[in-house]
Structure 1
Amino acid sequence: MGDSLAHDAGPRLDPGAFATLVVTEAEDRVAVQLNRPAVRNAIDVQMVEELHAVCTHLEQTPKVLILSGIAGDEGAGTKGIFASGADIAQLRERRRGDALAGINSGLFDRIARLPMPVIAALDGYALGGGAELAYAADFRIGTRALRMGQPETSLGIMAAAGATWRLKELVGEPVAKQMLLAGRILTGEGCLAVGLITELVESAELMAAAHGLAERIGLQDPLAVQATKRVFHAPREAHPEVDNREQAELFESPAKFERMQAFLDRRKK
């Protein structure tokens, strides 16, 4: 999968430890496929717990994370699914205490805060909690088959795992309100038009595009990427002090001297 971001020799995730995810780890990235095709990759409590385990690993060993949905069986109507939302059977039984516990919102916030970038590769349905999971990513690549939206109000609840504020930041208030309050579902082309995805590809090219983006990230200095992500998400009042502090650390890093010297050496040729 290309040059390593970390060239780590540390512990790896055990693929056999996951029942709702298919996990593939390389030196510079972890690819995670949501794997509940019989229910269109609906996010249940077990999947939440397993995604938390992935986060724990990536917080300790920073790597790019690629999120996608298992392709499934076209005959069963599950081909091209990211996540159809939270598991409605479980959601129906949740009460006040479950909402206050922030089961999905806590996970998605943790994913958004991972040290290295997160790429969501979106095909087919990305609805409800599935869409909110995608909003937590740093990059979203979609296909023409993508259908993204927030149907929660039709079920008597609200989108409470990040959509009410992340979506407004991503696409602006008018489109966000259409999706949140009127149930508008965006196509892949519609997502591209409003900036909800940054790239539109054919379904067969989706994973290659996601890994290609991971390759480009891998060409950057990992410490500089992590610092930039932290500063990007810092509150406005933290600037410019947070920029200066992070830059001060990078100015002393060995990679800064090595990469700048390599640049100067190439220019001399």
Structure 2
Amino acid sequence: MADSIRPPLHVERRGDRVVATLDRPATRNAIDLAAIDALHALCAELEQEPAILILTGADGVFASGADIAQLRERGADDARRGINTHAFSRVADLPMPVIAAIDGYALGGGAELAYAADLRLGTPRTRIGNPETGLGIIAAAGATWRLPRIVGEARAAELLLTGRILDADEALAWGLVSAVHDPDDLLDAAHAVADRIAANDPVATRHTKTALRAPAGAHPQLELELQAELFERPEKAERMTRFLERRRT
């Protein structure tokens, strides 16, 4: 099926999780306006019915970047609209964790989508970075503020100012990905992480994500209020009782 009529995002729902696959093989899964619209539609669903999200790409590529053919035609008003920025922020703000399973290239906008995830897994073929300045633009869809939180300010500055692309070993050493798996095992590994998340209390998981994403000035009062809510839920007593009973056996 040609990319012009092929859905840019394949969505598979599996109970407590959703797998969303960027699927534009003719452009190496470059993120175009149709893909952004599909991400917004998916986020609207997950905001109403929270589930773990696994993001990946088809045919051994996560996303080669924003669609340059479209990007070249955009002007100042388009820049101020934040077309990719708002979609990636919506992904980042989803109630439940987002896992990016990155095989192959995640460049430019593709990298920024990966930075919006809570967890990132790679393969030996992973290549990730932001070459935007070489195209006469900046990484304006989240890299300048999300990447420093992931790898630190000095390393983020090196990547964004030089346009250097990290290989899998470097991405792992920098903490940009938390593990590297064989390409054939990548989705299974992502599901294994999702299984561990799903085994926990979903409200506690959502509150943990809220605390992790909060600005520095919100701490520690935010955590105390979230914990106060959790302390009053029956699930806390039930889970702790099961834990104590298992320890006695």
TM-score (norm 2): 0.95
Shift of 1:248: 1.2
SS of 2:19's equivalent in the other structure is: strand
Shift of 1:173: 2.6
Determine the structure 2 residue equivalent to 1:197: 177
Determine the structure 2 residue equivalent to 1:57: 45
Determine the structure 1 residue equivalent to 2:3: none
Distance 1:96 1:254 in 2: 52
Percent same amino acid at aligned positions?
57
1:256 and 2:236 correspond = yes
Alignment deviations for residues 76-110 of structure 1 (CA, whole Å, 9 cap, x no partner): xxxx1000000001000100011101100111111
Distance 1:260 1:251 in 2: 11
Distance 2:219 2:136 in 1: 40
Distance 1:98 1:53 in 2: 20
Shift of 1:254: 2.1
1:24 to 12, 20, 37: 12
1:84 and 2:64 correspond = yes
Shift of 1:26: 1.3
Determine the structure 1 residue equivalent to 2:165: 185
Alignment deviations for residues 112-168 of structure 1 (CA, whole Å, 9 cap, x no partner): 111000000001110000000000000000011011111111111110001112112
1:42 and 2:30 correspond = yes
1:206 and 2:186 correspond = yes
SS of 2:120's equivalent in the other structure is: strand
Give the counterpart letter for 1:82 in structure 2. F
Distance 1:186 1:224 in 2: 34
Pairwise CA RMSD: 1.1
1:97 and 2:85 correspond = no
Give the counterpart letter for 1:151 in structure 2. P
Distance 2:186 2:153 in 1: 29
Distance 1:233 1:175 in 2: 20
Distance 2:143 2:183 in 1: 25
Determine the structure 2 residue equivalent to 1:164: 144
Alignment deviations for residues 188-230 of structure 1 (CA, whole Å, 9 cap, x no partner): 1110011100001111111111000000101110000001111
- In structure 2, the gaps of 5 or more residues are 1-5
SS of 1:93's equivalent in the other structure is: coil
Distance 2:120 2:100 in 1: 5
Within-5 A mapping of 1:63-82 = 63-71=51-59, 80-82=60-62
- In structure 1, the gaps of 5 or more residues are 1-17, 72-79
Give the counterpart letter for 2:123 in structure 1. T
Shift of 1:68: 0.2
Aligned length, in residue pairs? 244
Within-5 A mapping of 1:144-163 = 144-163=124-143
SS of 1:81's equivalent in the other structure is: coil
Distance 1:177 1:236 in 2: 21
SS of 2:188's equivalent in the other structure is: helix
Regions of 4+ moved over 6 Å: none
Determine the structure 2 residue equivalent to 1:14: none
1:115 to 95, 107, 117: 95
Determine the structure 2 residue equivalent to 1:176: 156
Determine the structure 2 residue equivalent to 1:11: none
Distance 2:14 2:196 in 1: 15
TM-score (norm 1): 0.89
Structure-2 change in CA distance of 1:242 and 1:173 (3 Å): closer
Distance 1:227 1:182 in 2: 37
